[in-house]
Amino acid sequence: MRCPLCLTGEAQEMWPVRENPDFRVQRCGHCGGRFLFPQPTAEFLSELYSRSYYDAWGLQEEDGRVREMKVSTFALRLELIKRYKRQGKVLDVGCATGFFLEEAARQGFSPYGVEFSPYSSRIAAEKFGEEAVFQGVLEDAPFAPASFDVIAMSDLLEHVRDPGSVLAKTRELLKEDGVVMVMTPDTSSLTHRVMGSRWVHYKIEHLFYFDPRSLEMLAKRHGFRVLHREAARKTLTADYFYHQFERYPHWLLTPVCRALHRLLPKRIRQGNFRITIGEMVVLLEKIPLPEGASLS
Ligand SMILES: [Zn+2]
């Protein structure tokens, strides 16, 4: 099977996705990128997303700590972005209800968002204005070419139907000296080496999987080079892990989290800590094209 990421390599089957063995992880022998085959249908995914949205909402209702966790994680991403861009227009692709954009606005950036979920995009539009938030996929977003200083995508590229077309559109919307921030699971991470096919990021809504090399190859094909890469730290609480592993049961981690949930006092369960859980954050910049040239 031809790899949909580099379009040249042949992919080999690795293993089925544990939560549903109808979907199997394939690995490209050329770029090392991975993808699900078959790809879940739009109906399948929308059913899945509406289900997980209610779970996430339950967690959010519990207290404001999910919000605190997310804002603190996004502040780490902004710290990194600000090494290269200190102000300007930021587009968050897959902005959800706008936690990242809130923090970006607080730090002086002008916030814009794209969000597929009508429910979440409505909340974001209430915060940042109707014209600043587009509901749909990035490829259809009506923003002006070369208008953004920063384009951010956290936990996005692994979910989309065509990561290449997302990067192509990103290049079109980004200013010549703009910066792209991509955060996505990393199949070369320690957590993957330890867990293998049981890795927590292998799930049906993740259609594609990258390591630094396959992401760099895809970025290069769409006119970007890597400025910076590091393991992505997240701010999390023990309670968050408990909810995650109840939702996505794991043979070892679910019982461990249950035990900790019973044993630890609430103060500790809800305290913030910073951790890397197998994701990378990569900053990209445009490779300038010679006058009149275009990417094929
Ligand atoms: Zn490939």
Report all structural domains of the chain as residue ranges with CATH numbers, in order of start: 11-237+272-286 (3.40.50.150), 238-271 (no CATH)
Query: What are the residues facing 277 on neighbouring strands?
Result: none
List pLDDT tens digits, range 145-183.
Answer: 999 999 999 999 999 999 999 999 999 999 999 999 999
Structural Rg of the chain based on CA atoms:
19
List pLDDT tens digits, range 39-79.
Answer: 999 898 888 877 665 455 444 544 576 777 788 889 999 99
List pLDDT tens digits, range 132-142.
Answer: 999 999 999 99
29: CA distance to ligand 1 center in Å?
Answer: 7
Spell out the alpha helix ranges (H) of the chain.
Answer: 42-62, 65-81, 99-106, 118-128, 163-173, 190-195, 212-221, 238-247, 253-263, 266-269
For the entire predicted model, the pTM comes to: 0.88
Identify whether the C-beta of residue 158 lies closer than 8 Å to the C-beta of residue 184: yes
Question: How far does Cα 290 stand from its chain's mean position?
Answer: 31
3: CA distance to ligand 1 center in Å?
Answer: 5
**Tokens for 174?**
């980004």
241: CA distance to ligand 1 center in Å?
Answer: 32
- The bridge status of strand 273-286 relative to strand 224-236 is antiparallel
Predicted pLDDT of residue 5: 96
215: CA distance to ligand 1 center in Å?
Answer: 10
112: CA distance to ligand 1 center in Å?
Answer: 32
List pLDDT tens digits, range 24-35.
Answer: 999 999 999 999
217: CA distance to ligand 1 center in Å?
Answer: 9
Q: Is the dihedral of CA 46, 49, 55, 58 positive or negative?
A: negative
Q: CA angle, 183 as apex, 276 and 31 as ends, to 5°?
A: 105
> Hey, how many other C-beta atoms are within 10 angstroms of the C-beta on 294?
6
218: CA distance to ligand 1 center in Å?
Answer: 9
